[in-house]
Amino acid sequence: MKQLPVTQPDQLLSTIGNGKVVLFFTAGWCPDCRFIKPAMPEIEADFSDYTFYSVDRDENVDLAASLNIFGIPSFIVYDQGQEIGRFVNKDRKTKQQVEDFLRNLK
């Protein structure tokens, strides 16, 4: 998984490019983020047509706020620079829930 550097909202699309992209908003202190993090390599392997970026919410506060990310872990998916889905709330997420979310985008 790539790590998104500190990115301002107006820089996001030029940073992530035009392919299929999943932004995984997380933070080191977040227990629900630590819960899903071990499953992320498997999720990435199952959805290899996407590029996954880990986004440290605390380093990217402006970006998170501009995208209405107020709970973590959260996921936003882009295809060709257009948002095509989001799984955004403050609840703990399982591998199955994340994969179901991504599968339903196709």
- Residues 25-61: tens digit of each pLDDT: 999 999 999 999 999 999 999 999 999 999 999 999 9
CA distance 20 to 18: 7
Active site residue 92: no
Q: How much is the pLDDT for 61?
A: 95
* Domain coverage including residue 56: 2-103
**Contact partners, residue 44, CB within 8 Å, separation at least 6:** 1, 50, 52
Q: How much is the pLDDT for 90?
A: 80
Catalytic residue among 16, 21, 22, 33: 33
Neighbours of 47 (CB within 10 A): 19
CATH number of the domain encompassing residue 7: 3.40.30.10
One-letter amino acid at 68 equals N
Catalytic residue among 21, 30, 43, 69: 30
- Residues 76-98: tens digit of each pLDDT: 999 999 999 999 988 899 999 99
- What is the pLDDT confidence band of residue 106, given thresholds at 50, 70 and 90? low
Q: Indicate the number of domains in the chain.
A: 1
Active site residue 10: no
Predicted TM-score (pTM) of this structure = 0.94
